[in-house]
């Protein structure tokens, strides 16, 4: 898997240009609480991104690895920066419970789309296609259940997500015939959001009364 130059450019523009425009005072779409959350999230992204880069460089030297696909490496660093910023921002702005609901539903929707397209793509008779889609959709169930339970029972849901995250980490982290950058990119994109939601929910102390 390689990330196209246009994709990286687009992702970079989308992730960073709005922030630059806000700092320049051209864009005034956030209120003070959102600006503070955004700046705190940027600091978190700086810390996590910096540490990740240091770890990657150290790992490259230590294990004598090379970067086969530089574009993947750049994408990986972008994903780490952006995901850290996004999660920190959402946790500050929405709190852990609402963030978890949105992230889990987004994962569920993504997996549903993937399951339907994959089921159709595999071909066969109508019944085989339907069975294939249903099998794929079984993986959506934990995400939907997690989204439902995150509001009502945040702490047990958090532990559940940590277990799911650890399972995915083990399952996707096993050595494969893939470049290590690609594997790390997959792990970061799929597992980190689930683990982040799990940690956020486990730390919820009380169900806040957000009234209208």
Partner 1 sequence: MSTNDGVRNHVRRHRRLRELTQQDLAARVGVTRQTIISIEGGKYNPSVGLALRLAEAFGVPVEELFQIDRGEFDD
Residues near partner 1, by CB under 8 A: 31-34, 36, 93-94, 208, 210-212
The minimum distance between CB 191 and partner 1, in angstroms, equals: 28
The minimum distance between CB 204 and partner 1, in angstroms, equals: 13
Neighbouring C-beta atoms of residue 126, cutoff 10 Å: 7
The dihedral of CA 52, 57, 58, 60: what is its sign? positive
Tell me the CA end-to-end span of the chain in Å, nearest whole number: 46
Q: Looking at beta carbons only, is 19 or 95 nearer to partner 1? A: 95
The minimum distance between CB 36 and partner 1, in angstroms, equals: 8
Q: Looking at beta carbons only, is 16 or 94 nearer to partner 1? A: 94
Whether residue 172 contacts residue 186, with contact meaning beta carbons closer than 8 Å, is answered with yes
Q: Looking at beta carbons only, is 16 or 93 nearer to partner 1? A: 93
Q: Looking at beta carbons only, is 96 or 184 nearer to partner 1? A: 96
Provide DSSP, 118-154. Answer: HHHHH---HHHHHHHHHHHHTTHHHHHHHHHHHHHSH
CA dist., res. 185 & res. 10, Å (int): 18
Neighbouring C-beta atoms of residue 32, cutoff 10 Å: 7
The minimum distance between CB 94 and partner 1, in angstroms, equals: 7
Q: Looking at beta carbons only, is 25 or 32 nearer to partner 1? A: 32
The minimum distance between CB 99 and partner 1, in angstroms, equals: 12
Q: Count of alpha carbons within 13 Å of 131, Cβ hemisphere only? A: 6
């Amino acid at each position: 898997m390689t990330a196209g130059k246009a994709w990286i450019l687009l992702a970079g523009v989308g992730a960073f240009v709005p922030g630059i425009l806000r700092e320049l005072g051209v864009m005034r779409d956030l209120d003070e609480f959102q600006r503070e959350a955004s700046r705190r999230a940027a600091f978190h992204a700086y810390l996590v991104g910096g540490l990740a880069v240091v770890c990657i460089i150290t790992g490259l030297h230590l294990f004598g690895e090379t970067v086969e696909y530089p574009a993947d490496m750049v994408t990986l660093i972008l994903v780490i920066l952006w995901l850290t910023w996004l999660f920190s921002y959402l946790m500050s702005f929405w709190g852990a419970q609402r963030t978890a609901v949105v992230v889990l539903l987004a994962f569920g929707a993504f997996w549903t789309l993937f399951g339907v397209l994959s089921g159709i793509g595999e071909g066969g008779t109508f019944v085989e296609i339907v069975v294939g889609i249903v099998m794929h959709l079984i993986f959506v169930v934990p995400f939907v259940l997690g989204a439902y339970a995150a509001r009502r029972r945040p702490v047990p849901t958090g532990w559940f997500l940590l277990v799911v995250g650890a399972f995915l980490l083990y399952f996707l982290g096993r050595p494969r015939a893939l470049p290590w950058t690609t594997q790390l990119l997959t792990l970061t994109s799929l597992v980190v959001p689930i683990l982040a939601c799990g940690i956020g929910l486990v730390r919820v102390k009380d169900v806040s009364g957000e009234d209208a």
